[in-house]
Amino acid sequence: MQHGKYRFIAGFLALPLAVYAIFVISPFVQAFQIAMTDWSGLKGAAKYIGFDNYDKLVHSDEFWNALKHNVIMLVLVPIVTLALGLFFAFMLNVGGRSRRGAVVTGVRGSKFYKFVFFFPQVISITIISVIWFNIYNPDPSDGMLNSLLGAVGLDSLQSAWLGEKSIALACIMLVMIWANVGFYVVLFSAAMASIPRDIYEAALLDGAGRAHTFFRITLPLLWDTVQTGWVYMGIIAMDAFALVQIMSVNMGGPDGATDVVPLRLYQTAFRDSQFGYASAMGIAMLIVTLLFAVLTMRFARRERIEF
């Protein structure tokens, strides 16, 4: 009976696993193979060169500049995004004014606010990039941000934004945070809804404030969700291709201030026709992403709290 059950399960899994192996695992394996060649992308033109692409990568200032920007995103974007997601979700679900009888309530209209926060998730990343590109437009008459600053008498704060080397990367990271924070508001709200209200009400009866309740009750009970979200946001931060390609000046400018590894990979492969070198960049990205995921899961691991 058990043997027949396993054969039945294997029969259902065979086709999906085969499709996954062909379209996901196989390209990864081929990337390792291509990274060992000098290949222009033309069939039959690949030349085996061993680890020369990796040696070139290690000595490339452009690659290290792009990787530095990815690491900055990897550190800052997940922290800010998850912190804002937790804060907004907590205030929407536990931040209501009514405390009669130590009853925990959400804010009035919380469902509407969740919809507003989540709305950027249903918009294409391309549309988001175009919208914010126009918001950052340095022309005071066309750029929304500079127009707004001029209208309220803050002309001194007007800037070229994406054309300013010192703040261009920060402007793009701000868009990345704005585009993703709504997802975590909804995710953390769903996780908070599973926490028994009795726990909050008991804490309120003991005189606990909102800050104390958040750090002693909400955050520990949501830690598994936060940990998973951290890895997911790290993967997003290691990408950033679409935002940088569309929003940045001359794709990665000004003067390489917003260059990232995925954009460098794209240009190396499809502009310079160096597919072997680009594959080596892809392998480097894979290693950094896996290292980040492993370290996050290792050092953010806590004892699971049951409730």
Angle at 300 between CA 182 and CA 176, to 5 degrees: 30
Name, in order, each residue with C-beta under 8 angstroms of 14's C-beta and a sequence gap of 6 or more: none
This prediction's pTM: 0.85
Count of residues for the chain? 307
Q: Which residue has the tokens 């907590």?
A: 90
List pLDDT tens digits, range 229-247.
888 888 888 888 889 999 9
Q: Which is more confidently placed, 96 or 147?
A: 147
Task: Decide if 177 contacts 81 (C-beta within 8 A).
Answer: yes
Residue 282 has pLDDT above 50, yes or no: yes
Question: What value does the mean pLDDT take over residues 163-176?
Answer: 92
What are the structural domains of the chain? 51-299 (1.10.3720.10)
